[in-house]
Structure 1
Amino acid sequence: MAVAGNGWAGMGWDWSDAGEIRRRLERGADPESWNGSRPLHRAAVFGSPEAVAELACRVADVDALEDGVTALWEAVLSRKAANARALAAAGADPWRPLLGGWSPGRLSLAGPTPDLFPVPDGVSLSATERAAAQEAHRLTAALGEFYDEGMGLACVAGIDAGEAVRRLEATPVVDDGLLQMLDELLEEPYAYDMDDSLQIVGVTSVPGGCVVTQPWGYAPQMPGVLARLSAGTVCYGLYVNPKSGNQGSIARHGIIEGSDLHPGGGPEEDDTAEQVLASYLYHLEPVAYACAFAGLRLADRRAVTGPPDAWVELPRGDYWNL
């Protein structure tokens, strides 16, 4: 008799209860399938070491792939060290090359637990990879934790705040009405209709370039803004959409090269080795990812959260069509 929902009906985000997982398995739950996914991959990210071990001994292949990666890869990517160790103990291979030529084990050398697995002779990070890992640790620590929902920003390489203002043909916020609006927006980001507040952005010089920010909206990531800012250089735009998550864009030399990107998300199957490493180092850190992409070396989060070097008003116009 088929078990409804492969035996996992009602399972949500929490896969930490090893006893519940064991009971379901004993009642006929399929250890290989859950809602189009693999239970072991799910437990590797959202479960406990005990739950991982319970599933790992039931599957046909502890290194089975889902979207090109193993459950062990998912545990390493998610910084679930105990789950990764449980998978390795169950026979998962830390040194199997997967995305971009990276194995879970070599990837872990760039993260917070480089001693996660015994390292075979000849396996190490390159000097460039070590430097990238060190900078990622420094940058994420410098930014720290902060509320970023609804925020937009553009990280621009090689120009300062003054040059950004010139390129945008923006003017300092001095009008009493705009100053009052700004004060109210900073206190209550949704006090005004977004169409009325999109014209105001903050600009700040940082080591390596500058940051254009808007705590309440997506203006810095509009194509027309990115195109103007990226003349002769590169910039990464980010909007932390409260409805659909992080949205990234890349502009280079006035041309939008990439849009609908997912900074802070996991690596994808066709990513290069460099992209895989960046996705791992800045997993769930979209703002740090955007800054790092443009080579910005922020010492703190003031350029992102404020107060900026200057608040300026963008000229009225169509910023969606280049």
Structure 2
Amino acid sequence: MGWDWTDAGDIRRRLDQGADPEAWSGGRPLHRAAVFGSPEVVTELAGRVEDVDALENDVTALWEAVVSKKPDNARALAAAGADPWRELIGGWSPGRLSLAGPTPDLFDVPAGQQLNTGERTAAEEAARLLGALGSFYYEGTGLACVTGIDAAEAVRRLEATPVPDGAIEELLEDPYAYDEDMEVIGVTSVPGGCVVTQPWGDAPQMPGVLTRLSRGTVCYGLYANPKSGNQGSIARDGAITGGDLHPGGGAQEGDTPEEVLDAYPYQYNAVAYSCAFTGLRLSDARAVVGPPDLWVQLPQRDYWSH
């Protein structure tokens, strides 16, 4: 039976009976508790480990608590001696990273650790965008977020044709009924560009769609694959320049400072990340979940070989 990271009594009993506070199922218990546990469990484990700032995957337990947006766990770790200002991925510390998130008052901030103007602006826009989009179900959705062109220009580039209202109503009743429905997409103008959506499939992020949309600009494609998770790709000026990406997955070892800041606010929110990557400033989720400005049908062609 697995450990219950929220049950301080159970964790204490296991530790008293000889469980190793430094290792659990190939990882560090304190890191697990920082993400999944209660402050009481975090405090119990922090008092038993040799180094409260020990690394797992190049980050401390405090980093995990901050990026997982568990402020009470972060406070418990800091009270146990964890260092909020230790630089980790991309030169960011847990403390500075917290300034860009929903709890900027998490730690007392020493001189020289404040966000600069650009970082603060990015954090403020992230908070605005996340609030504007809100929470909604998007598993199975395909998106293309495009900088600097509106819906009409996107339709022109794709050589798509409008779908009659009556046909759309029938399609939305069962979008999986006919193969040709997989070629129908929604297109919406938003501040900063446009969004191409298909709430039931991956058409917007097919390479042939992204390359056509991205001529002279940049496009981020997302497919929220129900089986394998979020899949991202980047197209710039008509060419695919990034693939097999994991939007909303958080910062990774080797990320630049800019990439860490881009990833942190949007962890677990692939749609918001995709919009932010291309500078789209949506005011609500309509461009993603519908109804879009236009429903159009793509012409038949091989979109997977570009």
Alignment TM class, shorter chain as reference: over 0.9
Flag as ranges the 4+ runs of structure 1 deviating above 4 A: none
Deviations 1:270-301 (A, max 9, x none): 11111101111111111111001001011111
Deviation at 1:24, TM superposition (A): 1.1
The answer to whether the 8 A contact 2:144-2:210 is kept is yes
Query: Matches of residues 85-234 of structure 1 in structure 2 within 5 Å?
Result: 85-174=75-164, 179=167, 182-189=168-175, 191-192=176-177, 195-234=179-218
Counterpart position of 2:259: 275
The answer to whether the 8 A contact 1:156-1:235 is kept is yes
Query: Matches of residues 3-152 of structure 1 in structure 2 within 5 Å?
Result: 9-11=1-3, 14-152=4-142
Deviation at 1:10, TM superposition (A): 2.3
Give 3-state SS (helix, strand or coil) of 1:198's partner: helix
Deviation at 1:196, TM superposition (A): 3.4
Give 3-state SS (helix, strand or coil) of 2:220's partner: strand
Deviations 1:232-276 (A, max 9, x none): 100101111111111111111111111111111110011111110
Deviations 1:215-244 (A, max 9, x none): 000100111110110111001011111111
Summarize the Cα distance change of 1:256–1:51 in structure 2 as closer, same or farther, 3 Å threshold: same
Deviation at 1:175, TM superposition (A): 8.7
Give 3-state SS (helix, strand or coil) of 1:123's partner: coil
C-alpha separation between the residues in 2 aligned to 1:80 and 1:149?
25
Give 3-state SS (helix, strand or coil) of 2:41's partner: helix
2:240 matches 1:248: no
C-alpha separation between the residues in 1 aligned to 2:276 and 2:172?
26
Deviations 1:81-120 (A, max 9, x none): 0000000111110000001100000000111111111111
Summarize the Cα distance change of 1:65–1:184 in structure 2 as closer, same or farther, 3 Å threshold: farther
C-alpha separation between the residues in 1 aligned to 2:266 and 2:170?
33
The answer to whether the 8 A contact 1:206-1:297 is kept is yes
The answer to whether the 8 A contact 2:250-2:266 is kept is no
The answer to whether the 8 A contact 1:153-1:238 is kept is yes
Of the structure 1 ranges 80-89 and 34-43, higher mean CA displacement relative to structure 2 is found in 34-43
Deviation at 1:79, TM superposition (A): 0.7
Give 3-state SS (helix, strand or coil) of 1:42's partner: helix
The percent identity for this pair of structures is 73
Q: Given residue 84 of structure 1, which amino acid in structure 2 is its aligned partner?
A: A
Deviation at 1:188, TM superposition (A): 4.3
Summarize the Cα distance change of 1:154–1:25 in structure 2 as closer, same or farther, 3 Å threshold: same
The answer to whether the 8 A contact 1:185-1:216 is kept is no
In structure 2, the gaps of 5 or more residues are none
Q: Given residue 273 of structure 2, which amino acid in structure 1 is its aligned partner?
A: Y
Q: Given residue 213 of structure 1, which amino acid in structure 2 is its aligned partner?
A: T
Deviation at 1:185, TM superposition (A): 4.2
Give 3-state SS (helix, strand or coil) of 2:69's partner: coil
C-alpha separation between the residues in 2 aligned to 1:42 and 1:185?
45
Summarize the Cα distance change of 1:302–1:29 in structure 2 as closer, same or farther, 3 Å threshold: same
